Amino acid sequence: MLDAATEVFSERGFHAASMDDIAARVEVTKPMLYAYFGSKEGLYRATIERAGDHIIKVVEALMSEPDARKRLCTGTDALLDFVFSQRAAWSVIYNEGMGPDGLVDITGIRDKVSSFIARTFAEVKRGQVGNNGASEPSEAEVETAWPFAIGTIGSCEAVLRWWTGRERFDQEACRRICQDLVQSHLDGFLGTARAA
């Protein structure tokens, strides 16, 4: 049910999607959808929560990687793999984040990804790659990386939004551009950190 609902919400947006459309796609009755989810909002929330939970699990699993640069590269690839394999789910999350009257608070998802990037940038700055015994970066160091983490997310989202809307979608070219954007933001952060 959630797969079909995600597709319909992705194609039409929340307001234009109807429970009739979703029920027809799932091949169940509309009352059955209401029995499971209570409302269209409940179904919509469930689609976003499922996708968000997946993203958060990916990010949490990556934090165990001690090599910050490797973690950053692996994390970028893992999140892009999600976007490429779950385009409808990503579209629903992205559109929810862009809407003026969001029905679901996706702040927790964005904060988790931003925190992952900021902490990883700060660890690269501290030179923790292969440096056993080095202390974790301070919260102040992580805080200085946040603008760069947010910029990383924003620029990659913009590229993905543009590219996934195209008929011809070259995933590997998109992956290279996003990896370059991540590196560019990291370089910007490291340059700012050196200048400070």
- The tens digit of pLDDT for each residue in 26-53 reads 999 999 999 999 999 999 989 998 998 9
φ and ψ at 64, to 5 degrees?
A: -80, -10
- CA–CA gap between residue 142 and residue 59 (Å, rounded): 16
Between residues 129 and 95, which one has the greater pLDDT?
95
The 3-state DSSP class for residue 37 equals helix
pLDDT band at 81 (very low <50, low <70, confident <90, very high): very high
- The tens digit of pLDDT for each residue in 136-189 reads 888 999 999 999 999 999 999 888 888 877 777 788 999 999 999 999 999 999
Residue 176 has a pLDDT of: 94
Residue 29 has a pLDDT of: 92
| Percentage with pLDDT > 90 across the chain | 54
Residue 93 has a pLDDT of: 83
φ and ψ at 47, to 5 degrees?
A: -65, -40
What mean pLDDT is predicted for residues 122-138? 70
Name 130's Cβ contacts closer than 8 Å, sequence gap at least 6: 67
- CA–CA gap between residue 119 and residue 183 (Å, rounded): 15
Q: Helices then strands (H, E): number in the chain?
A: 9, 0
Rounded alpha-carbon distances, angstroms, from residue 50 to 45, 53, 112, 124, 183? 9, 5, 15, 31, 29
Residue 104 has a pLDDT of: 76
pLDDT band at 129 (very low <50, low <70, confident <90, very high): very low
